[in-house]
């Protein structure tokens, strides 16, 4: 535990002193909470020993959270601290707290850059032009900006769910709306849930699609299964399955935490190619989000050049085309900075070579993963 400043001792920071249960409870207090800041996502993806948790409190209230991944190749004091889609500072039912954002930025720099001598890399959960982005950019004004490139640019479509269902349907692309109407007449049935059974049914569909198609993907479906099993009930991924003749033909997986849902995975089984169940799945997901009070639906990343088919499908929902605020950097030492910069440059060059050699038919499923 440490003080923020002598001027206001009611603010204080706690680092690596909470339990997974406490973290999950606090995460549910924030509108800007997301899957990537859940404890199970971090522990399954990177290992629990590589995680660090920073909590900002004022007068006993939790006003900021950040789950950070620590990468140190040796026992020497250099490496990288990654903060993905954070920090969190938007408490439910309260105005956006720009002061909490600024204090979180300073606390993160103090703990990971100054004290631990790591290169701190922050990938904000904010889209350019939004009030949250303005608060983030003001709070992190002392950080450097990472040079933008394909490897670190997240472009997506975000659907504003504040309109009525009638308006949302009217705003759909005409062809998309017609295909939805056809699927509604096709005798299809949608079932949904967040338990292990629903997720395993989706995995069967995903496996069929992987055998049928050839595409590059960073998705490890077994990893997602383990994350789902470890997530608390309030933060589990939502699974929708489209059935035709009593058999699953298509499925979709979305994370719905905070005030925003994120499309994560989609799959069409061997029997679902002609059923057009994807249209019915997306529309039923939107209806579920509306009924459960979500404000935004992030369609999971787009790449019009590399994956035009998925782009046109998602574009039909008429979401806003947005860019995520680019990664922000704070250097804790010359060695960490040099090693991290070289590693990121090598990763970018490798991805460029892979894309150049890749056949046009091999497409990335996870355009939002970076």
Kindly report the CA angle at 156 between 312 and 97, in degrees rounded to 5?
150
Burial code (b: 16+ CB inside 10 Å, e: under 16) for 69-94 equals bbbbeeeeebbbbbbbbbbbbbbeee
Distance between CA atoms of 238 and 244, rounded to whole angstroms? 20
* Stretch(es) of the chain classified as CATH 3.40.630.30: 2-149+325-357, 157-321
Q: How far is CA 111 from the centre of its chain?
A: 24
The H or E element containing residue 247 is strand 247-257
Residue with tokens 């703990």: 111
C-alpha closest to that of 370 among 339, 348, 355, 341: 348
Q: What pLDDT score does 356 carry?
A: 43
Residue 225 pLDDT greater than 60, yes or no = yes
Q: What pLDDT score does 273 carry?
A: 61
CATH class of 2-149+325-357: alpha beta
Task: Give pLDDT tens digits for 179-200.
Answer: 999 999 988 999 999 998 899 9
How many CB atoms are located within 10 Å of the residue 348 CB? 15
CB-neighbour burial class of residue 353 (10 A; exposed 0-12, middle 13-18, buried 19+): exposed
Q: What pLDDT score does 337 carry?
A: 52
Question: Residue range 8-24: average pLDDT?
Answer: 93
- 70-84, 87-101, 298-312, range with the lowest pLDDT: 70-84
Q: What pLDDT score does 20 carry?
A: 98
Q: How distant, in Å, are the alpha carbons of 9, 51, 161, 174, 311 from that of 318?
A: 47, 37, 11, 11, 11
Of all residues in the chain, the percent with pLDDT exceeding 90 is 73
Task: Give pLDDT tens digits for 110-135.
Answer: 999 999 999 999 999 999 999 999 99
Average pLDDT, the chain: 87
Residue 1 pLDDT greater than 90, yes or no = no
Multiple choice CATH, 157-321, 3.30.420.40, 3.90.700.10, 1.20.140.10, 3.40.630.30: 3.40.630.30
Q: Quick check: helix, strand or coil at residue 328?
A: strand
Task: Give pLDDT tens digits for 161-172.
Answer: 999 999 999 999
Q: What pLDDT score does 312 carry?
A: 96
Q: What pLDDT score does 151 carry?
A: 85
Residue 370 pLDDT greater than 50, yes or no = no
Task: Give pLDDT tens digits for 30-48.
Answer: 999 999 999 999 999 999 9
Distance between CA atoms of 1 and 361, rounded to whole angstroms? 52
- The model's pTM is 0.88
């Amino acid at each position: 535990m440490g003080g923020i400043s002598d001027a206001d001792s009611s603010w204080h920071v706690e680092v690596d002193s909470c339990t997974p249960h406490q973290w999950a409870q606090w995460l549910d207090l924030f509108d800007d909470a997301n899957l990537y800041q859940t404890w199970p996502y971090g522990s399954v993806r990177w290992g629990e020993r590589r995680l660090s948790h920073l909590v900002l409190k004022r007068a006993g209230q939790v006003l900021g959270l950040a789950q950070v991944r620590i990468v140190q190749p040796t026992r020497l004091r250099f490496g990288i601290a990654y903060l993905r889609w954070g920090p969190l500072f938007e408490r439910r039912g309260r105005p956006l707290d720009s002061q909490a954002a600024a204090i979180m930025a300073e606390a993160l720099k103090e703990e990971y850059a100054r004290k631990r001598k790591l290169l701190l890399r922050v990938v904000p959960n904010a889209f350019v032009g939004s009030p949250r982005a303005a608060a983030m950019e003001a709070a992190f004004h002392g950080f450097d900006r990472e040079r933008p490139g394909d490897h670190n640019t997240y472009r997506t479509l975000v659907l504003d769910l504040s309109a009525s269902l009638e308006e949302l349907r009217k705003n759909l692309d005409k062809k998309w709306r017609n295909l939805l109407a056809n699927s509604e007449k096709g005798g299809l049935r949608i079932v949904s849930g967040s338990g292990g059974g629903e997720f395993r049914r989706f995995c069967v569909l995903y496996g069929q699609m992987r055998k049928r198609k050839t595409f590059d993907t960073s998705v490890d479906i077994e990893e997602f299964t383990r994350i789902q099993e470890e997530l608390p009930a309030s933060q589990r991924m939502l699974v929708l399955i489209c059935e035709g003749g009593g058999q699953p033909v298509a499925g979709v997986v979305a994370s719905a935490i905070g005030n925003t849902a994120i499309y994560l995975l989609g799959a069409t089984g061997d029997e679902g190619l002609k059923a057009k169940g994807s249209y019915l799945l997306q529309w039923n997901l939107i209806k579920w989000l509306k009924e459960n009070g979500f404000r935004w639906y992030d369609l999971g990343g787009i790449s019009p050049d590399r994956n035009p088919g998925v782009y046109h499908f998602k574009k039909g929902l008429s979401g806003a085309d947005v860019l995520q605020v680019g990664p922000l950097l704070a250097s804790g030492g010359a060695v960490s900075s040099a090693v991290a910069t070289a590693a990121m440059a090598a990763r970018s060059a490798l991805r460029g070579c892979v894309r150049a050699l890749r056949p046009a038919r091999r497409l990335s499923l996870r355009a939002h993963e970076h």
